[in-house]
């Protein structure tokens, strides 16, 4: 219950507390802060004469905050369902997104092609 309340009130804190080490904390924070900034602009700066800007900043702020809340709840539910133990063979699909092996550098491949 506390997880859901925290996810609705402060999504970045909820994702840092209940999520994985790499479970979308930065994008959720950016969406949440962007939504708060759009709402602050709506209430303190938006010109009332320009209705599309006035209403658009309100809709944008609410949409971004709602998206960050939904993203937080889905991420936390997925981490709880899949687990986040990286040492086990049963790795989470969310936590195992980053590949283990190093990818080759595309610029290095171009340099090798020029040398031939």
The CA-based angle 36-40-43, given to 5 degrees, is 140
Rounded CA separation 65/79 (Å): 21
Instruction: Give me the domain span that covers residue 46.
Output: 2-115
Question: Would you say 93 and 82 are in contact if contact means Cβ atoms under 8 Å apart?
Answer: yes
Question: Would you say 64 and 41 are in contact if contact means Cβ atoms under 8 Å apart?
Answer: no
Q: What is the mean pLDDT of residues 91-100?
A: 47
pLDDT, one tens digit per residue, over 6-39 is 889 999 888 888 877 566 888 999 999 999 999 9
Q: Quick one: pLDDT band at residue 95, thresholds 50, 70, 90?
A: very low
pLDDT, one tens digit per residue, over 46-84 is 777 778 878 888 999 999 999 999 999 998 888 888 876
Rounded CA separation 97/23 (Å): 10
Question: Would you say 95 and 21 are in contact if contact means Cβ atoms under 8 Å apart?
Answer: yes
Rounded CA separation 31/26 (Å): 9
Count of the separate structural domains present in the chain: 1
**Which pLDDT value is given to residue 23?**
67
Rg (CA), the chain: 20
**Which pLDDT value is given to residue 100?**
45
pTM for this model (two decimals): 0.68
Comparing CA positions, the residue from 54, 35, 28, 51 lying closest to residue 43 is 54
């Amino acid at each position: 219950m506390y997880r859901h309340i925290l996810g609705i009130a402060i999504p970045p804190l909820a994702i840092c507390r209940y999520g994985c080490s790499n479970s979308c904390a930065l994008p959720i924070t950016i969406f949440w802060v962007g939504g708060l900034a759009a709402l602050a602009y709506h209430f303190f700066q938006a010109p009332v004469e320009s209705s599309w800007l006035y209403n658009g900043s309100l809709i944008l702020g609410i949409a971004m905050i709602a998206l960050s809340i939904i993203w937080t709840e889905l991420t936390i539910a997925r981490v709880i369902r899949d687990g986040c133990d990286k040492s086990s063979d049963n790795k989470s699909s969310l936590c195992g997104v980053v590949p283990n092996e190093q990818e080759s550098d595309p610029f290095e491949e171009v340099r090798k092609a020029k040398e031939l």
